[in-house]
Amino acid sequence: MENTSIPRNVEAKEAVFEILAETLKLDVTEINESLRLSHDLGMDSIDVLDMLYDIEKKTGSVIGLQDFENYFRGELSVEEFRNANGVITEKGIRYIKEKFPNAIIPESGLLTRHLFELLTVGDLIKLTEIHR
């Protein structure tokens, strides 16, 4: 069977910037790597899912929601990072604050399903590169 995936020569940064600009009706020059997808750009979970689909189509990078947890968890075990209900533990919160100092973490507890809210454009570019 012939490989019909998108060419890998599309740069992750260029692709992410173009997709965000198109999705959010912005000029590419308005986007930078420090912008947070949720807080600064106003993206919700549906926007993020649509964007991940577009990234896959444009770059061949397949990024799932579980990849967000893996990205933020780093070297912590699943048990160290979150409890069985998907609530990030105190150790997990400390780790995120240390490794991602610009992350805005809610005071009432952070659920794994909301980790996308912590992502910056730069994080999304890294995830796109990792999952090629």
Q: At what angle do helices 65-73 and 121-130 cross, to 10 degrees?
A: 100
pLDDT, mean of residues 22-31: 95
Model confidence pLDDT, tens digit, residues 42-68: 999 999 999 999 999 999 999 998 999
Domains and CATH numbers, the chain: 12-130 (1.10.1200.10)
Model confidence pLDDT, tens digit, residues 64-113: 989 999 999 999 999 999 999 999 999 999 999 999 998 999 888 899 99
Token representation of residue 86? 């998907």
Question: CA angle, 108 as apex, 118 and 52 as ends, to 5°?
Answer: 25
* Average pLDDT along the chain: 91
